[in-house]
Amino acid sequence: MEYIKTDLEGVFIIQPKVLNDARGYFFEAWKKEEFEEHVGKVNFVQDNESKSTRGVLRGLHYQKGEFAQAKLVRVIKGRVLDVAVDLRRSSKTFGQYVAVELSDENKRQLFIPRGFAHGFLVRSDEAIFTYKVDNAYAPQAEACILWKDEDINVDWNIDEKEIVMSEKDLRACCLREAEVFE
C-alpha cells in the first residue's frame, strides 16, 4: 500500500496495490503492522457501513472530547467525495479541509485522525461506505458542523437543490460556534 500525506497533518490517502486477473481482483484493505509503520498506532474497535443514494450528504460529523474518533474510510460500491476538516485549534491548518474522491474503482481509503470533522457526498447512483473507528459511538458527544459553513468553504461541486440531508445535519452549527479540539 502507498500512504500519501495530505496537507492536513495526520490525514493520509491510502492507495492499495490491487492485483487483477481473469478472476477479478484482490487487495489488502488494512494491515496492522504496515498501517502503524506509516500512520501510527490506532486501535480500531468498530466497523460501520452505510448505503446512500446520489446527492446524499452526510456530515460534517465528529465526536467531542474523550469520545473523539479516528476513522479509516472507504467505498465498497459507488463513488463519493470524502471530506475531512481540521478542528484542532492549535493546528496551523485549523478550519481547512481535504477532499478526496473514494470509489469502488480507485479503492482508495482515507485515514482521518481524532480532532477532525468528517463528511461525504454521494456522486454515484448508490454508494456503500464503510469505515473503522477507534472509539465507540457516544450519542451524548456527537456534533456536526454545517456542510456549507462559509469559513470552511468546502467545494462540494453540486447544486444545493440536489443535496439530500438529515434534519440533524441541516440544523448543524457553524465552525465559529462549534466545540473544537485544542
pLDDT of residue 13: 98
pLDDT of residue 69: 98
Phi-psi region of 67 (alpha: psi -120 to 50; beta: other; left: phi over 0): alpha
pLDDT of residue 80: 98
Convert 10-22 into a string of H (helix), E (strand) and C (coil).
CCEEEECCCEEEC
The secondary element (H helix, E strand) that includes residue 2 is strand 2-5
Q: How far apart are CA 79 and CA 102, in angstroms?
A: 6
pLDDT, tens only, 95-131: 999 999 999 999 999 999 999 999 999 999 999 999 9
Which residues, given as ranges, of the chain have pLDDT below 50?
A: none
Q: Are 54 and 122 in contact (CB under 8 A)?
A: yes
pLDDT of residue 8: 98
Q: How far apart are CA 112 and CA 91, in angstroms?
A: 15
- Secondary structure (3-state) at 125: coil
Q: How far apart are CA 131 and CA 44, in angstroms?
A: 10
pLDDT of residue 82: 98
Choose the CATH number for 2-177 among 3.30.428.10, 2.60.40.10, 2.60.120.10, 3.40.50.920.
2.60.120.10
Catalytic annotation present for 118: no
Q: Are 175 and 68 in contact (CB under 8 A)?
A: no
Catalytic annotation present for 137: no
User: What pairing do the DSSP bridges indicate for beta strands 71-77 and 126-133?
Assistant: antiparallel
pLDDT of residue 173: 96
pLDDT of residue 115: 97
pLDDT of residue 65: 95
pLDDT of residue 146: 97
DSSP assignment, residue 7?
Answer: S
Q: Which of 62, 97, 118, 131 is catalytic?
A: 131
